[in-house]
Structure 1
Amino acid sequence: MTVATTAEQVAAQEAVRAFARTSNVIEDARDETGTAWRRVWSPLADLGVFGVAVPEDAGGAGGTLADLAAMLEQVGHELIPGPVVTTTIGALLCSTTGVPSSFVDAMVTGARPAAISSPQSDAVVRTGDDGRLYLTGTYPSVHGACAESLLILSAHHDAEATWVLVEPDQDDVDVTPLPGVDFASPMGRVVCRDVPVVAEIRCTHGSVDDLHVAGMVAVCSGIARKCLDIATSYAKLREQFGEKIGRFQAIKHLCGEMLCRAEQAAALAWDVASVDAEDRPLATAAAAAIALDAAVDNAKDCIQILGATGFTWEHDAHLYLRRALTLRHHAGGSGRWRLRTVERARADGGRELYVDLGEAESDRNRVREDLATVAGLPQTDRQRALADSGYLAPHLPVPYGQAASTAQQVLISQEMQRAGIERPNLIIGWWAIPTIVEAGTPKQLERFIGPTLRGDLTWCQLFSEPGAGSDLASLSTLAIRAPGGWRLNGQKVWPTHATDADWAICLARTDRDVPKHRGITYFLLDMSTPGIVVRPLRAITGEPMLNEVFLDDVFIPDDAVLGQVNDGWRLARSTLANERVEMNTGTLGAPTLNLMALSEKCDDAVELDKAGALTAQAIANSLLAHRSLLERMRGAQPGAEASLQKILGVRQRQQVAELTLQLRGFHGVSAGPEAHEFFLTRALSIAGGSAQVLMSLVAERMLGLPR
C-alpha cells in the first residue's frame, strides 16, 4: 500500500522516482557539507513538487493535499535532499492566507526555500505604532532553516498563539546553521529582535503544526517502505548456512513487522491528507503517533537484517535512519502525539469512514424500503425474512443471496444498521455456506443452504486435531471406504459449539499413499450420527467454550462428501479464506472507546502514553480495513492482507484488554467483564492460525520471501 490512490498520484510518484534516479540524489544525501541539496533544488521545482497543492490562481498546480502527500511519500522513498517538506507546506500555507504573491511564487519556483518552527515558542508579536507587526524571540532548532529560507515561525500575539512569515535577510534576524545527523536536511537556530513581520498566517486547512506534521508523516511512510524494500531484497539474495536468510523465521518475522509498520504508516499518511479539515487534528495525531516511529524502527531493523553490511558508511541504510530521526525530532517526538491522540479521540469519539458507493447508491431507496418491512416484524421472524429475501447473505448468488457487489454489500450493511437490524450470526455457518455453494450438489444446496440461513441448522468445524493445528494438512483422522459411504475414526479438538451443532464440516484423510495435502476429503457430518462423542473442554475463562470430539467408526454416506474425494484441502483453504464484506463504520471499536473513558481519570503518564498508542493503533487498523474495502470495490481480490490485518487487530485488542485492567487499579483483579475480556482475548492470537504462523505467511505471500 502507498499513499497514492489515483492514476495521477501514481504517475506523480513515478515522475519523482525517475527524477531521483536520473539525478542520483542519494549521493547528495551522503554529502556531509550539508549544501549538496541546492544542486537539485531548481530541477525539483521544475518538476512541480513545491506547488502541487498551491491553488492555480496562486501559481500552483491546484492539486489536493493528498496529491502532495503522494509526492512527499516518494520524496522519502528516494531520500531526496533539502527542505522539501517545509517548502511545500509553506507554499500551501502562504497561498491561502493573504501573504504577498511574490513570496508564494518564490517558494513554488524554488527561488526561496521555506522553514517552519516548532509550535512551542516563547516568541512574542507586538503591534507597532505604524500598525505593523514585529516579532521578538529565539528558536533553538527550526526545520529547514538556512540563510535564504523564508521563515514561518510560531509566536504569541495578544496572548493568542499565531504564526508569522519573516524574511531572513534583515539586520535583526540571525539564522545560524546547525549540523544535523541528516546532512541533507538543513536546520538552524533563529533569533529575531523586533523584526517586521511580512504577514500573519491564518491556516484554512487546519493548524500549521498539523499540516507540517502531515507532510513529515508522508515522508516517513516512504522511508518505512524503502527500508522494507531494501531488507526484503537482501533477505532474498543473502545466503548463510547454505540457505537464503529469508527462509529463516527470525528474518521473516522481522520483515513481517516492518511490513506491518509500513502499511499502517501509509494508511495513516493517506488519511491525514484526505480528511476534511475538521477531522484532521485526530488524523494527524494518530498518524504522527505511529508513522514517525515506523520510519525509525524500520530503518533500524533494515540495518539489523543487513548485518555488518548495514553498519557500513557506504551502504544507504544509515541515511534513511538519519532522515527518520530528524523528522521525528522536528515533529516533537512521537510521545506528544500519542497523548494528543487520546485527548482528541476523547473529544470526538472517533469519526465515521466515508465510502463512495458509486452506481450502487441508486439502490438505496429500494433497499431501505425492503429492510423497513423486515424491521417491522417481530424479532423472532426477522432472520427468516432476511434469509428469504437474500439480505442475510447478500454476497451469495441468487437465490440464496443477491449476488451483491462489494459496494452493494456495504450499502445493505449501512441500511441494516440504520433500520436497527442486527445481522444474525451464523458462526461456523458463515464458513460452511460459501464452500457448499461452491462445491455442493443440487441436493446438498437445497438441504443445507436455506435451513442454515434461516437458523434451522447450526454448524461446528471439525478440522484441527491434537497433532494438526496450524499444520492442518498433517491431520490423521481416517476415512475408510464402506458400502454406501465411509467410516471415520479419529479425534478432533478445539471446536466451539460442538455440543449443540446439528452438522459439522469435517476433514478426514481418504488416501494415505499420496502427499499429505492431496489425500484429504471434505465431509458434511451429521452430529447426531452414532459413534460421535463430544467432551467439553474448559477454557481459561472458566467456561466450557471448547470441545474434543471422538469419531469411533462413524458412518458418513456418499452424499455427504462435499466436492470430489481427495480434493478436501482445496475446499478447506476456500473455507478458511471466505470473507464477507463487513462495513467498517468508524475508526474506534467498543473496547478502545471503553479504554479512553477509563483513561480520563488516569494521571499516570506511562499508562496515558499506552492509551494513546493503542488508540492510534485502532485508527490505523480501521484505515487498513477501509483501504482494503476500497480496493475490493475496485475489483481487487482478497489476499494475505487479511492475515496482516488480523495480526495487528488481535495485538491491539489484547493490549487494550490488558491496559483496561491496569487502569482499573485494584479493581482490575476483581472477577468481572474486564477480567473476562482479558482472558478471552488470549485465544485470538491462537484461533484460526497462530499469530506467528500468520506472520510467516504474510512474509512469504506479501513480501515474496522463500518458503
Structure 2
Amino acid sequence: MALALDEDQRALSEAAAAFALRNAPIEQTRNSLDDYSSGKCPGELWSALLRQGFHRMHLPVAYGGDECGLPALAVVVEQFGRSLLPGPYLPTVLGGVVAATAKDGAAELLAAFAGGATGALVIAEGLIATPQADGWTVDGVSAPTLGLPGADRIVVRAEIDGRAGEYVWFHLDARSEFAAVTVRASDALDLTRSVGRLELHALEVPHEQVLNGVDKDRADLSVAALLSAESVGISGWCLQTAVEYIKTRHQFGRSVGSFQAVQHKASMMLVRDEVSCAAAWDASRAEFHNADQQRLAAAHAALTALPAGVDQALDCISLLGGIGFTWEHDAHLFWRRAISIAAAAGAEDSWAGRLGEAALMTERDFTFVEATTLPDLRSRVGAVIDEVLALPDDEKPSTGWAPARGGARRARLAAAGLTAPHYPEPFGLDAGPREQAVIADEFGRRGLSQPDMGIAEWVLPTLVAYGSEEQQQRFIPSTLRGEIVWCQLFSEPGAGSDLAGLSTRARKVDGGWELSGQKVWNSQANEADWGVCLARTNPDVPKHAGLTYFLIDMRSQGVDVRPLRQATGVWEFNEVFLDSVFVPDECVVADPGEGWNLAVATLANERLKMGSAKLGHGSGNMVRRLIERGEHACSRGEAVRVLGRNTAREQSVAALNLRNVIRRLNGIDDPTGGGNSVQKVFHAIAQREGSRSIVSLLGPVGCIGSPEQPYVRDYLGVPAVLFGGGTIEIQLNVIAQRVLGLPR
C-alpha cells in the first residue's frame, strides 16, 4: 500500500520514485557512505533535487514555495524512504514545515530554504533558554539530531528556564561564525545521514532570530507524519524484497514461500505495512484539523508507523536468511534508517502516554464529508429522521443477542430506504460511500442510532445479489422492517475453517430437499426466524462444487436448537441439529451446486462488517472507564499508556476503513485484492492485544468476576473474535496465496 490516494498523488509518487532511482541508486549511495554520514552531500544529488523543486513544494508561495501541503510532501518522503535517498532532504523539509507554522519571524529562513539551503530541526531536550531584555540566552547540549552536521540553517527549540513544557523557537545560520555554537558530529547509525549534537554556550539570540507563534501541535504533527511516511517507504521496500526472495529461494526441493510459517510471516508483514500506511496517511491529512485532532493523529502515527518500520526490516532480514544479515545486502541499511528515525521521534512510551492523555479528552474524527455535502440528500434524510423521532419507540427488544424487532420507527426507516441505504432500490437508496457518510451524519446529528439487523446484515447482500425476485420480495423488505431475525448455519464440528469439508447432507425429495446434519457456533439461532444453511447436495464432485445454499424456516419440524455455553458463562452461540428437515425448492438460492460461491459472498460481507466496527474487546472506552474509576493496580501513567496503545489500534482500524472508502471514491481498486482479510486479521489481533493489556492492569481486581467488574469477562470473550468469520491463520493463508502470490 502507498500513501497516494488520487491520480495526482500517484503521479507525484511515481515521479519521486523515478527521480530517486535515476539520481541516487543504492549502489551509488554505498560508495559515498562516509560522506553522507559526516554531513557531506554530493552536489550533483542536491542540485538535482533543487531543479525538480522537491525541496520547496511544501513551503508558502510567498517565500518561493509551491504550498502543496503535508499529504503531497508525505507522498514524496515515502518514496524517497523506499529508495533510501541519502543526504539532508528529510532533515531539511522537517525544518521547513515547522518554520512555516510560525506567525512571524520566519520570512528570511523560509526564503533560504526555498532557495536551496539545507537544514536541520533541533527539538530534542537539552537546551535551556533564559529571557533577556533584547532576546534570549541559550545554553546546553541537545540530544542527537538528524542532519545537523552539514546543515546550512538550523531550526531550534529550547525550553524556557523554569517553565517546563514551554519553549522558545529560533533559527541559526550555521554558515556564520559563532563562538557560542558548536555542532559536534556523532557516529551515525543510519550511514546515509549525518547525526550530531548542538552545543550552545551562553548563545545570545536576538528577537529577529526568534520564530514567534510556532504552532506546537501542527509542528509535532508534521514531524510525526513525515518520519512516519519515511517509515512506510522502508516498510514497503522490506515487504517487496522479502516476498520476491521467498518466491525464488528453494529449500528441501520446494519454494521457501510455500512453507506455511514463511507465508504467515510474510502475510503479517503485509498487514503491518497497511496498518502503518493508514496511520501515516491519517496524520498527513490532519494538517488543518484542530489541535485536539492533530494530537491524536500525530501520536497514533508515531506509535504505529515508526515501530512498524523497525519490525518490518527485521522480519525482512529473517526471511532473507543469512544473506540478509550480511554487510553486502542492503537490508541492514534500511533497518538502520528505520531504527534511527523511530529513535529521533522520541520514546514509544512517551507517545503512548501522549495519545492516552489526548484520548481521555476526545476521539479521532474519521468523517470525510462536510456539513454542506449533498444538501438535498441531507434535507430528505433529515426530514425522515425527524418523522421517525416523532413516532413511538415501540421496538421489541430481544432476550438475547439478536436485534430488536419491528416497531413503527423501523418500518418508516425501511420504507424510506434508510435501514440499509447502500442496497439498491427499492430496498435502499443505492447510496455510495459519500451518500452513506452523509446519511450516518444526519442520524448522528439527531442522536438516533442506525438500525442493526444482526446476522441479516451479512445475509441480505447475498439475497440481493443472487436471490430470485420471489425470494427478494419475500425476505428483504420484512427483514429491513425488523420482522425477521436471521442466523447463519455454516460451521460444523468437523468443518470450521475448512468449511467446504462440511458433512450436512441434502437429499432431493418431491418439491424440495431433506436436510440432515449438525451445525455449531450459530449466533442468534435460538431467536432466529430463518437461517441460511450450507449443505452438500452432490457427494460425487470435488467438495467445493457439491454445496448448495438453503433458506431454512427455523420453526420447521426437525430443527433442534441447543444453546452452547461459552467460557464467559453466557449463551451467545448455539448448536443446531437438523433431522430430516424439509426445505422447499423455492428456498434454494441460485442453483444447486453454487453454494460455495454464495457462502464466500456471505462471509465476505461478514468480514467487512467486523472490520469496520470499533474494537468490541479491549476498547478505548473500557480503559477510560477503568481509569476514571481508579480500578487499576498500577500507576495512572501506566494505565494511560495502555489507553494510548489501545486507542492507536482503534484509530488504525478506522483509518484502514476510511482509506478504503476514499480509494473507492477515487475509482482506485484495492491494490492487494485482500483488503477484507487484512482488516479481519488486524481487527482480531487488535482486540486480542487490547483486551489482554487491560487485564494486565487489574491486579487483585482481576480475581473478581462479572458483573462486579467487566474487564476479565471482556478478555474471556476474545476467542469468539479469533474464530468468527475465519481464524487469523486462515486469513493469513488467504493473504499469502491470493494477495502476495506465494505458492501453495
Q: How does 1:33-432 map to 2 (within 5 A)?
A: 33-35=34-36, 37-39=41-43, 40-95=45-100, 97=102, 98-99=104-105, 101-110=107-116, 112-127=117-132, 131-157=134-160, 159=163, 160-168=166-174, 169-172=176-179, 173-197=181-205, 199-201=209-211, 202-204=213-215, 206=217, 208-275=219-286, 276=289, 278=291, 279-355=293-369, 360-380=374-394, 381-432=408-459
Aligned to 1:668: 702
Offset, 1:637: 6.2
Q: Is the 8 A contact 1:55 1:62 kept in 2?
A: yes
Amino acid in the other structure paired with 1:103: L
User: Structure 2 CA distance, aligned partners of 1:597 and 1:488?
Assistant: 48
Secondary structure, in 3 states, of the residue corresponding to 1:539? coil
Moved more, 541-550 or 556-565: 541-550
Q: How does 1:548-559 map to 2 (within 5 A)?
A: 548-559=575-586
Offset, 1:18: 0.9
Q: Is the 8 A contact 2:97 2:222 kept in 1?
A: no
Closer, same or farther: CA 37–25 of 1 in aligned 2, 3 Å: farther
Closer, same or farther: CA 332–421 of 1 in aligned 2, 3 Å: closer
Secondary structure, in 3 states, of the residue corresponding to 2:242? helix
Aligned to 2:659: 627
2:706 is the counterpart of 1:706: no
Q: How does 1:436-475 map to 2 (within 5 A)?
A: 436-475=463-502
Aligned to 2:550: 523
User: Structure 2 CA distance, aligned partners of 1:556 and 1:495?
Assistant: 19
Closer, same or farther: CA 61–308 of 1 in aligned 2, 3 Å: same
1:496-524: CA deviations, max 9, x gaps?
A: 22223222111111111211111111111
Q: Is the 8 A contact 2:310 2:338 kept in 1?
A: yes
Aligned to 2:2: 2
Closer, same or farther: CA 581–487 of 1 in aligned 2, 3 Å: closer
Closer, same or farther: CA 256–549 of 1 in aligned 2, 3 Å: same
Aligned to 1:492: 519
The count of residues paired between Structure 1 and Structure 2 equals 704
Closer, same or farther: CA 424–394 of 1 in aligned 2, 3 Å: same
Q: Is the 8 A contact 2:366 2:658 kept in 1?
A: no
User: Structure 2 CA distance, aligned partners of 1:290 and 1:329?
Assistant: 13
Moved more, 78-87 or 185-194: 185-194
Aligned to 1:571: 598
Secondary structure, in 3 states, of the residue corresponding to 2:386? helix
Secondary structure, in 3 states, of the residue corresponding to 1:685? helix
Moved more, 153-162 or 176-185: 153-162
Offset, 1:277: 5.0
1:348-389: CA deviations, max 9, x gaps?
A: 344453335996443101110011111211112111222222
Q: Is the 8 A contact 2:359 2:643 kept in 1?
A: no
User: Structure 2 CA distance, aligned partners of 1:28 and 1:375?
Assistant: 68
Amino acid in the other structure paired with 1:389: A
Q: How does 1:21-32 map to 2 (within 5 A)?
A: 21-30=21-30, 31-32=32-33
Q: Is the 8 A contact 2:491 2:521 kept in 1?
A: yes
Give ranges in structure 2 of 5+ residues lacking alignment: 395-407
Offset, 1:460: 1.4
Offset, 1:317: 0.6
User: Structure 1 CA distance, aligned partners of 2:25 and 2:625?
Assistant: 48
Moved more, 23-32 or 562-571: 23-32
Name segments (4+ residues, structure 1) moved above 6 Å. 579-590
Secondary structure, in 3 states, of the residue corresponding to 1:33? helix
User: Structure 2 CA distance, aligned partners of 1:353 and 1:402?
Assistant: 20
Pick the aligned partner of 1:511 from 514, 523, 538: 538
Closer, same or farther: CA 157–533 of 1 in aligned 2, 3 Å: closer
User: Structure 2 CA distance, aligned partners of 1:148 and 1:463?
Assistant: 64
Offset, 1:436: 1.8
2:622 is the counterpart of 1:594: yes
2:732 is the counterpart of 1:695: yes
Amino acid in the other structure paired with 2:190: D
Secondary structure, in 3 states, of the residue corresponding to 2:540? coil
Offset, 1:606: 5.3
Q: Is the 8 A contact 2:267 2:732 kept in 1?
A: yes
Secondary structure, in 3 states, of the residue corresponding to 2:541? coil
Q: Is the 8 A contact 2:6 2:666 kept in 1?
A: no
1:313-347: CA deviations, max 9, x gaps?
A: 22111110011111122112322111211122223
Amino acid in the other structure paired with 2:210: E
Offset, 1:592: 0.6
1:216-246: CA deviations, max 9, x gaps?
A: 1111111111111111121222222222222
User: Structure 2 CA distance, aligned partners of 1:384 and 1:483?
Assistant: 37
User: Structure 2 CA distance, aligned partners of 1:140 and 1:428?
Assistant: 55
Offset, 1:184: 1.2
Amino acid in the other structure paired with 1:656: G
Offset, 1:591: 2.6
User: Structure 1 CA distance, aligned partners of 2:217 and 2:26?
Assistant: 33
User: Structure 2 CA distance, aligned partners of 1:597 and 1:243?
Assistant: 52
Offset, 1:302: 0.4
Aligned to 2:635: 603
Offset, 1:489: 2.0
Q: Is the 8 A contact 1:584 1:626 kept in 2?
A: no
Q: Is the 8 A contact 1:53 1:64 kept in 2?
A: yes
Offset, 1:458: 1.8
Closer, same or farther: CA 636–449 of 1 in aligned 2, 3 Å: farther
TM-score, reference length from structure 2? 0.89
Pick the aligned partner of 1:651 from 685, 710, 726: 685
- Between the two proteins, what is the percent identity of the paired residues? 36
Closer, same or farther: CA 338–315 of 1 in aligned 2, 3 Å: same
User: Structure 1 CA distance, aligned partners of 2:513 and 2:615?
Assistant: 49
Query: RMSD value over aligned CA atoms?
Result: 2.6
Moved more, 383-392 or 683-692: 383-392
User: Structure 1 CA distance, aligned partners of 2:700 and 2:626?
Assistant: 14
User: Structure 2 CA distance, aligned partners of 1:539 and 1:109?
Assistant: 67
